[in-house]
Structure 1
Amino acid sequence: MPKLGYTAAQIRAAEAPLLAKGVPLMIRAAQALADHVTSVLPEPSASRVLVLAGAGDNGGDACWAASFLAEAGVQVNVVPVMGRLSPEPEAGARESGARILTEAKPVDAAQLVADADVIIDGMLGIGAGGTAAGGSPALRGTARDWALAVHAALTENPHPLVIAVDLPSGIDPDSGEVAEPEAVIPADLTVTFIGIKAGCLQGEGAKLAGKVWLEPIGASQHLLGVPPAVTVS
C-alpha cells in the first residue's frame, strides 16, 4: 500500500476545523505517543525516558506524553530545550511526577542519554513550515545546541531508542531537506499525526525518520480528497 505524504500547510488546514471546535488533538496525540513509548519498554516502572521538549505544540505533545508515562510509573526527565515549555502541558507533566530539568545544559547530554532507555524528540514540529513556503525548520539557539549534543552522544552510545514526535526536529516537513545534519537526531520511530509529513518520505528526512507510524487522532478524514504532496510505493 503506498504511503501518502502531505505538506505542513495541508496538515494545518486539516486540523483547523477540529481545533476551532475545541477537539483536544494534542491530548489525543500525546496519548498515542505515550502508548508507543510504553510498548517498547519491557518494564515501565524500571524504565527511564528523556524528553527533549520545545516551546510550541510539538513540545506540548511531548510534555503531555511525559505526564501519561509518569502516571504509568516511568521515570521521566523533561528538558526544556528552548528554556521554556507550554504552560499547561508543563503543569501536567509536573503534577504527574515527571522531572523538569530547568537547570540542565547541553554539556549534560551525554549523561542524560546514557541514563535513558528511550529519548523523545519533541523539539520542533511543523509549526515553522517548509522552506519553500517561507518557513525555517532548522533548529536554532539552545535547541540546536541540545540537538548537536544529543546527536554526538548517540554516536558514542546508540543504546537509547529515539522516538520523534510527528517528524524528527530540524528536517523540512515538506521536502525532507536538512540544513545541518549534525543538528538532527536520527529517529528509530517517528509517530506522526493526522497525515504523514511529506518530508518523512523523501530526501534526507526519509533516512532520518526511521519507521513511520501514522496515528489519525480523529482528524485524518479531513485529508480525504486532498492530493498528497508525495506518494511512495
Structure 2
Amino acid sequence: MVRTVPTYSAAQVRAAEAPLLTAGVPLMRRAAAALAEITREQLADAATARILVLAGGGDNGGDALYAAADLAGAATVDVLPVGRRVHEAALAAALGAGARRIGPDEAEAAASASSVLIDGILGIGAASDPALRGLARDVVERLLPVVRERGPRVIAVDVPSGLHPDTGDADEVVLPATTTVTFGAVKAGLLAGRGPELAGDIVLVDIGLGPTLSGVTPVGEGVVSRLVRAPGPHTP
C-alpha cells in the first residue's frame, strides 16, 4: 500500500541509530533479514535463481552480505566485494552459508546470469561525497550495460550507491534500482533530484528507530510503495 512518510537527512538517521548501536541493538541483522525477505519475494523461481551481491566495506556491505547468507540456502549467490575493505564477519557468514566469492573479472557474466543484483556498495556514510570510485566505479560502469540490456532486477540497499542521500544528486555511474530497501527512515535524497529516477519502488523497513526519531523534525515528506517491519524482536 502506498504511504506518505516523513523524510530525514543522513545525519539525522545516523544520530537516531547511535544510541541503539551503543545499546547493542542488532540493527544490521534486522536490516539484513528484511532485505533477504524482500529479495526472496522478487525471485521468480528460487530453486533456479541466481543472485549477485555487490558489497562495499561499510554497513551497507555488511547488510548485503548477511542477506546473502540468509539467501544462500534458497538460491545460487555470488558475492563480489568492491571496497578497499570488507565486513569480515558478514563475508564469513555468507561464504559459510554457501555463497561463492567472485572476482571483478567475473562480474559481467555473473550479472548476466542473475535474476537479482543487490547493490550494497555505499550508504549514507558516504553522504559528504557519494560518487563511486576505484574498483566499485569500474565494476558498476561494466555492469550498467548488462542491467540495461538484460534486465536483472536491482535491489539497492538503503540508497542506490552513488546517490547523495540528502540532495538526490548523482553522476552517471549509478545502477538504477528496481527497488530500494531503505532502513529506519526514508532518506530525503530518495525523493529529490535524481532520486525518483534511480530509486525505483521504495520499501521502508522499520528497524526500530521510531523512539529515537520521535523528537526529530523531518526535512520533508514523500511517498513509499510499502512499509514493512524487520523480522525478529525489536527490543534491545
Q: TM-score, normalised by structure 2?
A: 0.90
Task: Quote the offset at 1:65 in angstroms.
Answer: 0.2
Whole-angstrom CA distance in 1 between matches of 2:108 and 2:95: 24
Instruction: Provide the alpha-carbon RMSD of the alignment.
Output: 1.3
Q: Does 1:94 align with 2:86?
A: no
Q: Which moved more, 1:75-84 or 1:192-201?
A: 75-84
Q: Tell me what 1:165 maps to.
A: 157
The one-character-per-residue Cα deviations of 1:151-177 (angstroms, maximum 9, x if unpaired) are 12212222x111000010001000001
SS of residue in 2 equivalent to 1:41: coil
Query: Counterpart of 1:192?
Result: 182
Which residue number in structure 2 is paired with residue 112 of structure 1? 110
Q: How does 1:127-206 map to 2 (within 5 A)?
A: 127-129=125-127, 135-158=128-151, 160-178=152-170, 180-181=171-172, 183-206=173-196
Q: For the residues of structure 1 that align with 2:30 and 2:187, how far apart are their CA atoms? A: 18
Alpha-carbon shift at residue 194 of structure 1 (Å)? 0.4
Aligned equivalents of 1:152 and 1:220: distance in 2?
39
Which structure 1 residue ranges, 4+ long, deviate > 6 Å from structure 2?
none
What 5-or-longer segments of structure 2 have no aligned partner?
224-236
CA distance in 2, matches of 1:221, 1:139: 33
Secondary structure, in 3 states, of the residue corresponding to 1:89? helix
Deviation at 1:216, TM superposition (A): 1.1
Distance (whole Å) between structure 2 residues aligned to residue 10 and residue 124 of structure 1: 18
What is the deviation of 1:83? 5.2
Does residue 31 of the first structure (1) align with residue 33 of the second (2)? yes
Paired position in structure 1 for 2:79: 78
**Matching residue of 1:224:** 214
Q: Which residue of 2 aligns with 1:67?
A: 69
TM-score when normalising by structure 1 = 0.91
**8 Å CA contact retained: 1:109, 1:153:** no
> Deviation at 1:32?
0.1
User: Does the Cα contact within 8 Å between 2:104 and 2:139 map onto a contact in 1?
Assistant: no
- In structure 1, the gaps of 5 or more residues are 130-134
Aligned length: 221
Q: Deviations over 1:86-130 (max 9, x none)?
A: 1100110011000111x333xx4332221001000000001122x
Give SS of 1:82's match.
coil
Q: Is the 8 A contact 1:173 1:197 kept in 2?
A: yes
Q: Hey, what does 2:229 align to over in structure 1? A: none
Query: In 2, distance between residues paired with 1:171 and 1:89?
Result: 24
One-letter amino acid matched to 2:137: R
Give the Å deviation of 1:84.
3.8
Cα drift, residue 41 of structure 1: 1.2
Question: Which residue pairs with 1:132 in the alignment?
Answer: none
Secondary structure in structure 1 of the residue aligned to 2:217: coil
Q: Please tell me the residue identity of whatever aligns with 2:212.
A: H
Q: Are the aligned partners of 1:121 and 1:162 in contact in 2 as well (CA < 8 Å)?
A: yes
Question: Does the CA-based 8 Å contact 1:4-1:231 persist in structure 2?
Answer: yes
